[in-house]
Structure 1
Amino acid sequence: MSVPYAEVIGDPIAQSKSPAIHNFWLDKLGIAGEYRATRVAPDGLAAYFAKRRGDPDWRGCNITMPHKQTAIPLLDRVEPLASRVGAVNTVHCARDGALVGRNTDVGGFLEPLADHLDEQHLFRMARVIGTGGAARAIVVGLADRGFTLVLAGRDPDKARALLEELAPDGEHHPVSLAAFEGTTDFPFDDRARCCDLVINASPLGMRGQPPLAFDWSHAPPGSIAYDIVTDPLDTAFLRGAERIGFATIDGLAMLIGQAATAFEHFFGAPPPREHDAQLRERLTA
């Protein structure tokens, strides 16, 4: 007997933790459903959506690299936030049969910062490393919440263009990735009632990728370090922050947060977040 299913697509895809997350929630809720991982090559994306449109059991998909932007013209509707970010990471079937693209990366990224963002601050600044698809969602989310952004990339011109496209009204600053590699003796002022973030939104530090060279003298006292990398989870970037006493947020926080919204679209029920600690144990076993 067939069951409703959703899936994550990308190329490569074998490393994805999304099936473990969604199937954990399905099991906890006793929902008859399945979540899969399916490799879709770039030249097979249009054929993939054409085939899934005719499958009555398909509820939608999460999208990872390299399809987050190229999927957009293949969809029937795209929600405003996803249009603004310029990237879709969730597609679901609407009741009228339309394929609707959403971006749950913004909400997933912001979720573990909620308590901090609920506070009143005199000033908010985030140093964001990376100019790829994940960085687009992070720039939009933080700019909308009053952050001044310092966006670092290998190509500062690309960082500048991204800021001008996604956050044109703020006084933001594009810099070279190399700007954070060496030490600085910049005299940070009193950071009371300020919110400072340092975010690795790049693949640097991921297994099989070059390390991220970041000197923590560039981070003001009391900063929060946030790394979206999930393999390994305990990155050198986060270990460096911990050594000097900074609070840290790892990549599973964003991954689980963005999956939660997608799950409800796919299976019609909110995931059982009260089991997050057990889910983390399973994902890191």
Structure 2
Amino acid sequence: MREFGLIGQSLGHSFSQTYFQQKFHTLGIEGCSYDLFELPSITHFTDLLGRRPALAGLNVTIPYKEQIWPYLDEVAPSAARVGAVNVVEFAADGRRIGHNTDYIGFRESVRGFYPTRGEAAGALVLGSGGASKAVEAALRELGIRHWLVSRNPLGRGLTYDDLTPAILDAHPLIINCTPLGTAPNVHECPPVPYDSLTAEHYLFDLIYNPSETLFMEKGRAVGAQTKNGFEMLCIQAEAAWEIWNQ
């Protein structure tokens, strides 16, 4: 039996187990399982490895995409480029190798969603965690200038209080990389001045449960284009499967 799974702190919102179980069933892949492993802290990762010696690959989600690094033997170029890990490969020689497929998933998903390029292609990245790092890496590859937005006034980007109508007008693409709005807390959303959004904006939410977050709903109310993170999930999951089976 080859075991795969997802580690994170709270996984009730995740579709990863359903995705892979359906994949195994549809393709007739036998001898594989996919489980959810909620860890109260990353220090429990070693205990998990001891309990599950058949682990062949892991996905990593909030808040461990950066905290997992000390438990790895090396990181692949994708993770080094992003600065965060969302896939752990268990190599045949026993090495644990960190990869990042989030940026691949976002890059390919946003490429078909946001058509603007060049000087007008500004983006605002909401949040400063591991997911936002993957998004920034993808935006750099796509040549889309961007600002990071967080609550931290001492951070390297903007705060939500800095989001004037002029700033929003110059950055039509807005990406929610925070967990705000994830089920069951569906009544939360990033504190963006939504009344300054227009039909020219594109709101991309990395959250996929619920399928329409309050962030997306508020954008749709003014005519903005919206997209959730389900396609990104599928693309990054397939990229992870390739890594585990290379």
TM value normalised by structure 2: 0.86
Corresponding residue SS for 2:58: strand
Task: Give matches, 1:57-76, under 5 Å.
Answer: 57-76=54-73
Corresponding residue SS for 1:157: coil
- What residue is the counterpart of 1:169 in the other structure? none
Matched, 1:227 2:224: no
Name the CA distance, whole Å, in 2 between partners of 1:253 and 1:68: 20
The 3 A distance-change label for structure 1 pair 22 and 84 is same
1:205 to 170, 178, 181: 181
Task: Letter of the 2:37 partner, please give it.
Answer: T
Q: What is the Cα deviation at residue 104 of structure 1?
A: 0.9
The 3 A distance-change label for structure 1 pair 128 and 220 is farther
Name the CA distance, whole Å, in 2 between partners of 1:259 and 1:78: 18
1:209-250 Cα offsets, whole Å, 9 max, x none, are: 743232345446532110112332211211122222222111
Name the CA distance, whole Å, in 1 between partners of 2:19 and 2:124: 29
Corresponding residue SS for 1:156: coil
2:165 to 184, 188, 204: 184
Matched, 1:247 2:225: yes
Matched, 1:24 2:22: yes
The 3 A distance-change label for structure 1 pair 121 and 184 is closer
Name the CA distance, whole Å, in 1 between partners of 2:47 and 2:26: 33
Name the CA distance, whole Å, in 2 between partners of 1:235 and 1:118: 22
The 3 A distance-change label for structure 1 pair 74 and 7 is same
- What residue is the counterpart of 1:101 in the other structure? 98
Name the CA distance, whole Å, in 2 between partners of 1:226 and 1:239: 11
Matched, 1:175 2:174: no
- What residue is the counterpart of 2:79 in the other structure? 82
1:113 to 102, 110, 125: 110
Q: What is the Cα deviation at residue 65 of structure 1?
A: 2.1
Name the CA distance, whole Å, in 1 between partners of 2:125 and 2:237: 22
Task: Letter of the 1:155 partner, please give it.
Answer: N
Matched, 1:237 2:220: no
The 3 A distance-change label for structure 1 pair 136 and 156 is farther
Does the 8 Å CA contact 2:88/2:98 hold for their aligned counterparts? yes
Name the CA distance, whole Å, in 2 between partners of 1:185 and 1:44: 46
Name the CA distance, whole Å, in 2 between partners of 1:235 and 1:187: 20
Does the 8 Å CA contact 1:227/1:238 hold for their aligned counterparts? yes
Task: Letter of the 2:214 partner, please give it.
Answer: A
- What residue is the counterpart of 1:171 in the other structure? none
1:256 to 229, 234, 237: 234
Does the 8 Å CA contact 2:5/2:35 hold for their aligned counterparts? yes
- What residue is the counterpart of 1:45 in the other structure? 45
Does the 8 Å CA contact 2:168/2:197 hold for their aligned counterparts? no
Task: Letter of the 1:81 partner, please give it.
Answer: S
The 3 A distance-change label for structure 1 pair 120 and 134 is closer
Task: Letter of the 1:15 partner, please give it.
Answer: H
The 3 A distance-change label for structure 1 pair 118 and 242 is closer
- What residue is the counterpart of 2:192 in the other structure? 214
The count of corresponding residues between Structure 1 and Structure 2 is 242
Name the CA distance, whole Å, in 1 between partners of 2:175 and 2:146: 11
Name the CA distance, whole Å, in 2 between partners of 1:256 and 1:210: 25
Task: Letter of the 2:210 partner, please give it.
Answer: P
Q: What is the Cα deviation at residue 197 of structure 1?
A: 0.9
- What residue is the counterpart of 1:140 in the other structure? 137
Name the CA distance, whole Å, in 1 between partners of 2:129 and 2:82: 11
Name the CA distance, whole Å, in 1 between partners of 2:36 and 2:230: 18
